[in-house]
C-alpha cells in the first residue's frame, strides 16, 4: 500500500482552477518528485496535501487514513512534515529555538533529544550556530535549518518545496546528499524542485504537471532520457 495516495485533487483560488483532477501515489522509502514549469501547480499540490489549502474536490490518504480537512498541526502529528518554499524559519529566534519549535507537539523528551542529535549530525553547520539568530544564516544554512526542524517532528513523509532555490551549486550538492541520507534512514520524501536535472537524478519516480494537470508519470531515470521531457525541462535542444 502507498504511504500517500492523492486522488482526483481539485484546488481553486477564487476563479482560478489551480489543480485539475491530480492523482498520484508515493511509495514508502522512496523519493518521488513533481516537476513542471512555474505556475504548473507543484507548490499548490504540496499545500493541499499538508493542510495549508483545502481542496475543492478529491481525496488525500496518508498512512491509510484520509487527511483532507484536518488542521495542519494534526497532519504534522500524524507524521507528515512540510518544508515550504522560502523555508519559513523564524529569523528573530535563535537556531536552537527554531529547532525546538519542530518538536512542539511531542512529549517524549528523550526521543526529541535523540532526534535533535541526529539532525545536528546531518547538519554540522547548524550545530556550530545554535545560539545565532536564524536570520543571520546564509541561504543554504537556512535551508538546512528548515529541513532539520522538520525532522524533529519525526516525519514518515517529508514534503520538500524547492530546496535548491537561490542556492550556490556547491550548496545544492550538499543539500541533496543529505536528502538521500534522510531517505536511506527511513523517511519518505515528496520533492518539488525547479532543478529538474537534480530532481530526476535522486528520485525513484516522477510526475510532470502542466497548468494544474498531471501529464506524465514514470520512473525518474527513464523520464530523464525522454526527448520531450529533456526539451521542456532539462534545457536539451
Q: What is the CATH number of the domain that holds 58?
A: 3.40.50.300
**Does residue 107 lie in a domain region?**
no
Whether 177 is covered by a domain: the verdict is no
Cα–Cα dist 145/136, whole Å: 12
What's this model's pTM, rounded to 2 decimal places? Answer: 0.93
Q: Is residue 38 part of a domain?
A: yes
- The predicted-structure confidence for 17-46, as pLDDT tens digits, reads as follows 999 999 999 999 999 999 998 889 999 999
Confidence of residue 102 (pLDDT cuts 50, 70, 90): confident
In a domain, 102, yes or no: no
- Domain membership of residue 113 (yes or no) is no
Residue 146 located in a structural domain: no
Is pLDDT at 237 greater than 70 in this prediction? no
**DSSP character at residue 144:** H
**What is the arithmetic mean of pLDDT over 86-101?**
90
- Please state, for a pLDDT cut of 70, what percent of the chain lies above it: 99
**Domain-embedded: residue 223:** yes
Q: Do residues 234 and 224 make contact, with C-beta atoms less than 8 angstroms apart?
A: yes
**Total domains present in the chain:** 1
pLDDT tens figures, 190-235: 999 988 989 999 999 999 999 999 999 999 999 999 988 888 887 7
Residue 12 lies in a domain: yes
All three cell numbers of 235, joined, read: 534545457
Which domain covers residue 230, as residue numbers?
Answer: 1-79+158-163+188-237
pLDDT of residue 236: 65
Q: Which of 1, 7, 24, 32 is nearest to 158 (CA)?
A: 32
Amino acid at each position: 500500500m502507498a504511504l500517500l495516495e492523492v486522488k482526483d485533487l481539485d484546488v481553486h483560488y477564487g476563479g482560478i482552477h489551480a489543480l485539475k483532477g491530480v492523482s498520484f501515489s508515493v511509495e514508502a522509502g522512496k523519493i518521488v518528485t513533481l516537476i513542471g514549469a512555474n505556475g504548473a501547480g507543484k507548490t499548490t499540490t504540496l499545500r493541499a496535501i499538508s493542510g495549508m489549502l483545502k481542496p475543492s474536490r478529491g481525496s488525500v490518504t496518508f498512512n491509510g487514513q484520509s487527511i483532507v480537512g484536518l488542521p495542519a498541526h494534526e497532519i504534522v502529528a500524524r507524521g507528515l512534515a512540510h518544508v515550504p518554499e522560502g523555508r519559513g524559519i523564524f529569523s528573530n529566534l535563535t537556531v536552537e529555538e527554531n529547532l525546538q519549535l519542530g518538536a512542539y507537539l511531542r512529549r517524549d523528551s528523550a526521543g526529541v533529544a535523540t532526534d535533535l542529535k541526529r539532525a545536528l549530525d546531518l547538519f554540522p553547520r547548524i550545530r556550530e550556530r545554535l545560539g545565532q539568530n536564524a536570520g543571520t544564516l546564509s541561504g543554504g544554512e537556512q535551508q538546512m535549518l528548515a529541513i532539520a526542524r522538520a525532522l524533529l517532528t519525526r516525519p514518515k513523509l517529508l514534503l520538500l518545496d524547492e530546496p535548491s532555490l537561490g542556492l550556490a551549486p556547491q550548496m545544492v550538492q550538499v543539500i541533496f546528499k543529505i536528502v538521500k541520507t534522510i531517505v536511506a534512514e527511513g523517511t519518505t520524501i515528496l520533492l518539488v524542485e525547479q532543478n529538474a536535472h537534480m530532481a530526476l537524478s535522486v528520485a525513484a519516480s516522477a510526475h510532470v504537471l502542466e497548468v494544474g494537470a498531471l501529464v506524465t508519470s514514470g520512473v525518474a531515470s527513464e523520464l530523464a532520457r525522454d526527448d520531450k521531457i529533456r526539451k521542456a525541462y532539462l534545457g536539451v535542444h
